Amino acid sequence: MQQLDAYRFYELGAKLYALFSIRTQGRVADMFGPLTEAQALLDGFIKGDPFVLESSKADATRLLNKLSSIFNRYFIDPATKQLKNPTGEDRIDAHEISLLVSLVEKFEHALAAELNRAPTYLAGKRGIYSTFDLAENARAIFAKDLQDVIPPAALNEFDLAGRALVFGLGTAAALHMLRAIEITLKPYYELFASAAGAKSERNYTIYLKKLVALADEDEVAFRPDKRVVQMLAQIKDHYRNPLITAESSITLDDALSLFGMASALIALMGRAIREQKPHEDKKQAKAAAEMDEDEDELYELRHSQAN
């Protein structure tokens, strides 16, 4: 999905009709700018900018060819193929102008018919969130340092959830947000359990039960945030479990509420991952150093045995 620049359509019409303005009156010396600008814009439309032409593309191509023909005739030297600068009061042939008017009108009618069927929609603001931010960059709700530790797959799911909200698809948005939560839940859970155990226990319910138990252990200094555990339980009961049945759906208002809760939950888990990352990096560096020392000792032992 991409944002449509509606002003480009107005600009194209303005440039095409500038070819017949009273100011130029067909004088060759005044037609260089209007011809080049009209060709550039029309060529962009034919190539798919701002959107791909279908039924009107043939008329657009014929019009562009005519514009190019007129430009080459009056502004390109046939002998040297170089640009020439016409002077005086020479005017473009009236027959050429008449053909150009006819081609512009045909393209105008064809484009109007195509735009009448084009899948363009106006999406209004959703809650307090702007349509553009939801559609193009929903992950911006997270701080940049959190985006660096939240799994990329979770950020992609959050972007898709934003786009679903723009189109009023509450259930689709909720499913994408639930996927984003579960993807982030795995590395969060691995902060407190072994990665091997987390791999074999890949289940939201099991993760939640064990996080609840770990959060209640007073002897452990680093334990799960009880706010995270409570939010995981609420989302499981009010959103995740109901969606298991095919008859259930999520309204747009409920999806907007979940959007705020999911972003807060993922941010809490992301902060814990970010804060623990330096400790994990130190552990990995220490383990790598010990491995290097073991390899050095093994090398010295083998070297001495060989001697």
Determine contact, residues 224/215, Cβ cutoff 8 Å. yes
Is the pLDDT score of 286 beyond 70? no
- pLDDT 10s digits, 162-221: 999 998 899 999 999 999 999 999 999 988 876 545 555 678 888 999 899 888 877 766
Ramachandran angles phi, psi of 135, nearest 5° = -75, -35
**For position 289, what pLDDT does the model report?**
47
* DSSP secondary structure letters along 105-165: HHHHHHHHHHHHHS----PPPBTTB-HHHHHHHGGGGS-HHHHTTS-HHHHHHHHHHHHHH
- Rounded to the nearest 5 degrees, what angle is found at the Cα of 285, between the Cα atoms of 280 and 184? 25
pLDDT of residue 304: 62
Q: Which two tokens stand for residue 258?
A: 């979940």
Q: What pLDDT is stored for residue 257 in this prediction?
A: 92
- Burial (CB < 10 A; 0-12, 13-18, 19+), residue 150, is buried
The rounded Cα 252 to chain-centroid distance in angstroms is 21
In the Cβ-directed half-sphere of 84, how many Cα atoms lie within 13 Å? 14
Report CA torsion sign: 261, 267, 270, 271: negative
